[in-house]
Amino acid sequence: MKNIEVVAAIIFSENKILCVQRNLNKYDYISLKFEFPGGKIEEGESKEQALKREILEELNMDIIITKSFLTVYHKYPDFHLTMHSYICLCKETTMILREHVDFKWLTIDKLQTLIWAAADIPIVEKLQING
């Protein structure tokens, strides 16, 4: 089974977190689910470089990475995912959705109102515990 390593940004602005909704996908178990934005690490990139590049490519946003948060290991039916998440701040909240269909800025206590991709749920749960 294929192993995929990705990075994800937990982007804060004014005590709210950016949540983005995936586009339609060939895998119904992640199609149209919410996630923390990010993507694959390219050869020769550090995790932090990959995260900044992915957020710029997907959302046209500049972010400031403040610290590592949680690494999630998740087995989807068609691939295994290792996702490294980071707490980030954004310089500007305006964005252009290039790969996602929707976004929401939510406080931590409202994150559970969304339908999340399974690999993102441990991040949501840890955010709620840490408050």
Residue numbers of the domain that contains 13: 2-130
Average pLDDT over residues 7-24: 97
∠ at Cα 69 (82, 100), nearest 5°? 65
Q: State the pLDDT confidence band at 4, using cuts at 50, 70 and 90.
A: very high
Give the global pTM. Answer: 0.95
Is the pLDDT confidence value at 1 over 90? no
Q: State the pLDDT confidence band at 44, using cuts at 50, 70 and 90.
A: very high
Q: Read off the CATH number of the domain in which 59 is found.
A: 3.90.79.10
pLDDT in tens, 59-79: 999 999 999 999 999 999 999
Other beta carbons within 10 angstroms of residue 22's beta carbon come to 18
Is the pLDDT confidence value at 57 over 90? yes
Count of domains observed in the chain: 1
Which residues are paired to 63 by β-bridges? 90
